[in-house]
Structure 1
């Protein structure tokens, strides 16, 4: 059995809906491109936006550069924002629960 490095595997595209293309590489989901007003938005395999492009070919090509330091930084920033948001929402829920518990004897 021979294995092929994932970097040499072709990216296969399928237009699954009008203006929406999905990419597969090595049998796994690789990302997508969505037509929007005035261009195209590409997203990596994690759903993180890579960027907005004027041409479909440029949007499709951007998926190959998801390990570029700019995209790695953008993904890290997106994940950090998600953690901060979840922490803030959890803290707010905890504050409401404590307030409800403290006021319950007076109801």
Structure 2
């Protein structure tokens, strides 16, 4: 499908698939609007944070376009990022250990 341009806000909306519309401004990702199973639309900002639930696509698009841009603010502090990375690494080690234990304890057929 062809993208449509909202003249006032300079946001381009592209229908990626039925019920899923992605917004960009000057080539930069802005957010998206997605249809729910009950026919409503949920708008999401540039960090995929829901900005609201709306009856129409136009309402969801307006909400996405007017959502504040938080590009300057880090999502997590460095300390929090380090903690999550350590937890992810530990989870991976545990998963590998569990897999190895399962493989080596299975009887040979």
Match of 1:33 in 2: 33
Which ranges in structure 2 are unaligned for 5 or more consecutive residues?
A: 1-7, 89-109
Q: 1:34-49 maps to which residues of 2 (within 5 A)?
A: 34-38=34-38, 39-49=40-50
Contact 1:9 1:26 in 2 (8 A): no
Q: 1:7-65 CA deviation, whole Å, 9 max, x = no partner?
A: x7600000001110000001100000000023001100011111110011000000122
Quote the RMSD (CA, aligned, Å).
Answer: 3.5
TM-score w.r.t. the length of structure 1 is 0.55
Q: 1:60-99 maps to which residues of 2 (within 5 A)?
A: 60-67=61-68
Separation in 1, partners of 2:27, 2:54: 26
> Deviation above 6 Å: which 4+ runs of structure 1?
none
Match of 1:11 in 2: 11
SS at match of 1:37: coil
- Find out whether 1:20 has 2:20 as its counterpart: yes
Whichever structure has more helix as a proportion of its residues is 1
SS at match of 1:47: coil
Match of 2:51 in 1: 50
Separation in 2, partners of 1:65, 1:29: 14
